[in-house]
Amino acid sequence: MIPKAETAHWIAASVALLIGLLLIAEAIVGPEIFRRRTWRAYLFPSVVVASSVGLWIIVVFSTFSTMHLLAHALWAQAALVAGAVQLAVVRGKLKSPSWSLVPGFALLVSGLAFLVHEQNPWLYSRSAFLHHAIGWMLVVVALFPLGQALRPRQVVWRAGFALTFVLLAILLFADRDAAPIFGRYGLGGGP
């Protein structure tokens, strides 16, 4: 009994929203206070690693399309690497701010995977629209971890990185298996 694609996307959106809230909270209070309790320090990387496991499960079941299978595998791998690096940062094994480049690279690769595996134009369907929107968003926001690596003390990079996940959640929540692109406001398009 496999859930519909939109259901899986809403679950992913919930995880992204939770990650977004955690990162916003960390940006507000600062990493020192946020990581004062060990469980809280490990929460973000653990959720990312857990989400990568979820993505691998989707890879196993998404046998309907090779492109989707490869794209989900790439996102799963990107999340796993980013989560693992973040775990090592929290643990104190990795200390250089340059390790922020890893999540940045993961976002960039994920965005490119969105863009490459969507073969239809923006307004073909809601799914196509969201693929393009999420893809370009991830490519652009990959600059935030880059900024974190170069100027780790500036809050703007951390805040931008956090808001990325909230925006990602909004776009994933907007996904429907069958719906006009902009709902009742027109631009019909296919399913």
Partner 1 sequence: MNSEYATSIPREEAQEPAVRRSWRTLAIQLLGPLTIVGGIVWAVAQPYRIVLLDRAGQGIYDYLFQAPLLVVLVGIAFTFCIAPGLVEDLEAEELRDTEG
Q: Look up residue 125 and give its DSSP letter.
A: B
Let me know: does 162 contact 20? Beta carbons within 8 Å: yes
CA 69 to each of CA 74, 77, 137, 141, 166: distance values in angstroms, whole numbers, following the listed order: 9, 12, 21, 24, 25
Least distance in angstroms from the C-beta of 119 to partner 1:
27
How many whole angstroms separate alpha carbon 161 and alpha carbon 155? Answer: 10
Least distance in angstroms from the C-beta of 89 to partner 1:
19
Interaction residues for partner 1, span 23-62 (CB under 8 A): 24-25, 28-29, 33-34, 36-37, 40, 43
* Contact status: 4 vs partner 1 (CB under 8 A): yes
* Contact status: 18 vs partner 1 (CB under 8 A): yes
* Contact status: 11 vs partner 1 (CB under 8 A): yes
CA 6 to chain centre: 16
Rg (CA), the chain: 17
* Contact status: 3 vs partner 1 (CB under 8 A): yes
Contact footprint for partner 1 (CB under 8 A): 1, 3-4, 7, 10-11, 13-14, 17-18, 21-22, 24-25, 28-29, 33-34, 36-37, 40, 43, 173
